[in-house]
C-alpha cells in the first residue's frame, strides 16, 4: 500500500490556485486556461457581467468578451452541456459527455426519481412527444440554428405540470439537449439558438466511443488535475458531477498504476481528516510551490468561479465561508446580491458587493467587507483598489462609487 505523502494545506491552496490560473502568470489566450479548468459554469445574471466572462477576466485581465464568444461558438472550442452545473465544456472532451448523453435519463446515473419522472412524462406525451421531437430535429436540420420560440407557432408549446413545470416545448428541448441531439449554436444576449449537436462541434472534435470505465478513469484524472489535490468527495462534486460510478475502485486502480498518489493534508503537525489525491503529472509543480515558487496576486472572483464552486471544499481548505445570496430576500442577506470574493495570494481576505449601472456607466461598490484578521497594510489596500479599478476599466465604467463606510483599516481604498 502506498504511503500518503504529507502536504501542508497552504501548499494545497497554492497548487489549486496555480492549476486554476489564478496565480501571477503570462498566459493571455483562452485555450490553455479552459483546458486546465475543464468547464466554465453558465449563469444568466449579469449584475456585474456574465459569470463566465468574469471567470476569464480573473485569469487573463482585460479582454474583449466578443473574442471569448468567438472562441466558444465560432471556433467551437467549447459547447454547452451539464458539467458540475450547466456549463461550457471542452469540445475535446466530447467523448466523455457523449457517454452520459446516450445514457440519459438512466436512473443509475441521474437518480431513480428523476429518471422515472422523465420517463413518465415522455410516456404521457405518447405520439405527440415523438412528433414534437421529430419536428424540432427536422426544422433544425433544414433551417439551421433557431431559438426555442421559433417552434411555438406550430402549437407545440402547451403548458404542462409534469417534470419541471415548464412548457412541453421547453422541456422537450432540454431533453434533446441532455440526450446530446441538439446544443446551443450561439447566444444572442440570454437567448439560445439551438442546432443539431453535430453542427455545434468543430470538425476535429473527437467522436470515438469510450467504455464507461474509460470515461470515469479519464474524468477522475481531469477533475483531480483541475483541483490540484482532492478527496473523493471533491471529485464527485466537480467536473462531471455525480457521474463517477465505482469511484473508489477507480481511485484504487489509479494509485496502483502510479497515476495518482495519496496525500495527507497537514495543518502544521495536525492531519486534516480525509485522504486526498495528487496526479503524478503535478508532483513537479507541487514541489516547485513547496520550495517557494508560488506566484501570488490579488484578484476578484465570480460567485460561480471553479475555485469556489464546491463550498464545502472552500471552507475546509481556505477557511472561507461563501454562500450565494442572489435568491435570498434583501433584508436577510449578510453581504449582498452578487458578491465577489477577494483572493490575495492563497487567502480570501474579503469580499465586495458591486453593481455595474450600465445606463450611467458607474460601477457601484455597495459594500466592502474584510475577513477576520485580514491584512490592512499599504500593499494590501493598493492591491484591492487596483483590482476594483481594473474591474471598472474592463466593464467600461466612467467612474467608481465607493460606499461611505469601509472596514477598519481599509478606509483608504476609496482615496
Burial of 318 from C-beta contacts in 10 A (0-12 / 13-18 / 19+) = buried
Return residue ranges of the chain for CATH 3.40.630.30.
Answer: 323-401
pLDDT value for 275: 94
Give the integer Cα–Cα distance in Å for 170 and 217: 34
Asked whether the beta carbons of 52 and 40 are under 8 A apart, the reply is: yes
Q: Going edge to edge, which strands form the sheet with 182-188?
A: 146-147, 191-196, 182-188
Give the integer Cα–Cα distance in Å for 167 and 146: 17
| Per-residue DSSP letter, 343 | E
Q: Which CATH class is domain 323-401?
A: alpha beta
The overall pTM is greater than 0.85: yes
Asked whether the beta carbons of 120 and 126 are under 8 A apart, the reply is: no
pLDDT value for 111: 79
Give the integer Cα–Cα distance in Å for 80 and 394: 25
Give the integer Cα–Cα distance in Å for 124 and 115: 14
Asked whether the beta carbons of 207 and 98 are under 8 A apart, the reply is: yes
Give the integer Cα–Cα distance in Å for 327 and 337: 8
Pinpoint the alpha helices (H) of 209-347: 212-227, 232-236, 247-256, 283-288, 311-318
User: Averaged in consecutive runs of 10 residues, what is the pLDDT profile of the chain (415 residues)?
Assistant: 91 99 97 98 96 98 98 98 96 98 86 88 92 95 95 54 59 96 94 98 97 98 98 97 95 98 97 96 99 98 98 97 95 97 99 98 98 97 98 98 97 92
pLDDT per position as a tens digit, 176-211: 999 999 999 999 988 999 999 999 999 999 999 999
pLDDT value for 189: 85
pLDDT per position as a tens digit, 238-264: 999 999 999 999 999 999 999 999 999
pLDDT value for 167: 82
pLDDT value for 162: 39
Give the integer Cα–Cα distance in Å for 178 and 113: 17
pLDDT value for 152: 79
pLDDT value for 124: 92
Q: Nine-digit cell at 84?
A: 458540475
* Helical pair 247-256 and 212-227, crossing angle rounded to 10 deg: 70
Q: Nine-digit cell at 31?
A: 485555450
CA distances from 101 to 64, 138, 179, 358 (A): 33, 20, 5, 39
Backbone angles phi, psi at 333, to 5 degrees: -75, 140
Pairing of strands 86-90, 78-82: antiparallel
Asked whether the beta carbons of 344 and 296 are under 8 A apart, the reply is: yes
Of 285, 276, 254, 302, the C-alpha closest to 85 is 302
Give the integer Cα–Cα distance in Å for 139 and 18: 45
pLDDT value for 109: 78
Q: Which residues of 275-306 are buried (b: 16+ CB within 10 A; e: fewer)?
A: ebbbbeebeebbeebeeeebebebbbbbbbbb
pLDDT value for 158: 47
Amino acid at each position: 500500500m502506498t504511503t500518503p505523502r504529507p502536504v501542508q494545506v497552504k501548499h494545497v491552496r497554492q497548487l489549486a490556485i496555480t492549476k486554476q490560473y489564478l496565480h501571477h502568470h503570462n498566459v493571455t489566450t483562452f485555450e490553455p486556461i479552459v483546458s486546465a479548468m475543464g468547464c466554465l459554469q453558465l449563469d444568466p445574471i449579469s449584475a456585474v457581467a456574465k459569470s463566465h466572462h468574469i471567470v476569464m477576466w480573473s485569469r487573463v485581465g482585460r479582454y474583449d468578451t466578443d473574442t471569448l464568444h468567438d472562441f466558444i461558438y465560432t471556433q467551437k472550442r467549447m459547447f454547452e452541456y451539464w458539467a458540475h452545473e450547466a456549463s461550457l465544456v471542452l469540445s475535446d472532451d466530447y467523448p466523455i459527455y457523449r457517454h452520459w448523453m446516450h445514457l440519459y435519463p438512466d436512473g443509475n446515473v441521474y437518480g431513480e426519481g428523476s429518471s422515472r419522472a422523465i420517463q413518465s412524462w415522455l410516456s404521457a406525451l405518447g405520439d405527440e412527444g415523438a412528433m414534437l421531437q421529430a419536428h424540432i430535429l427536422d426544422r433544425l436540420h433544414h433551417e439551421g440554428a433557431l431559438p426555442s420560440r421559433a417552434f411555438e407557432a406550430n402549437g407545440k408549446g402547451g403548458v404542462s405540470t409534469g417534470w419541471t413545470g415548464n412548457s412541453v416545448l421547453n422541456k422537450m428541448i432540454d431533453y434533446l439537449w441532455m440526450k446530446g441531439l441538439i446544443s446551443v449554436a450561439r447566444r444572442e444576449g440570454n437567448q439560445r439558438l439551438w442546432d443539431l449537436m453535430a453542427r455545434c462541434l468543430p470538425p476535429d472534435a473527437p467522436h470515438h466511443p469510450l467504455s464507461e470505465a474509460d470515461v470515469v478513469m479519464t474524468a477522475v484524472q481531469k477533475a483531480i488535475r483541475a483541483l490540484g489535490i482532492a478527496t473523493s468527495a471533491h471529485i464527485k462534486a466537480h467536473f462531471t458531477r455525480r457521474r463517477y460510478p465505482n469511484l473508489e475502485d477507480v481511485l484504487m486502480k489509479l494509485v496502483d498504476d502510479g497515476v495518482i498518489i495519496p496525500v495527507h493534508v497537514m495543518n502544521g503537525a495536525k492531519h486534516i481528516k480525509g485522504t486526498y489525491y495528487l496526479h503524478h503529472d503535478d508532483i513537479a509543480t507541487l514541489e516547485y510551490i513547496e520550495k517557494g515558487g508560488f506566484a501570488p496576486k490579488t484578484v476578484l472572483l465570480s460567485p460561480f468561479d471553479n475555485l469556489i464552486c464546491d463550498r464545502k471544499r472552500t471552507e475546509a481548505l481556505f477557511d472561507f465561508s461563501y454562500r450565494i445570496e442572489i435568491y435570498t430576500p434583501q433584508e436577510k442577506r449578510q453581504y449582498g446580491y452578487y458578491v465577489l470574493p477577494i483572493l490575495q495570494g492563497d487567502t480570501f481576505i474579503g469580499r465586495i458587493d458591486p453593481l455595474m449601472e450600465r445606463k450611467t456607466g458607474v460601477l457601484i461598490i455597495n459594500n466592502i467587507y474584510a475577513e477576520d484578521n485580514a491584512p490592512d497594510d499599504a500593499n494590501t489596500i493598493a492591491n484591492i483598489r487596483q483590482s476594483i479599478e481594473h474591474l471598472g476599466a474592463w466593464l467600461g465604467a466612467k467612474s467608481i462609487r465607493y460606499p461611505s463606510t469601509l472596514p477598519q483599516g481599509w478606509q483608504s481604498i476609496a482615496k
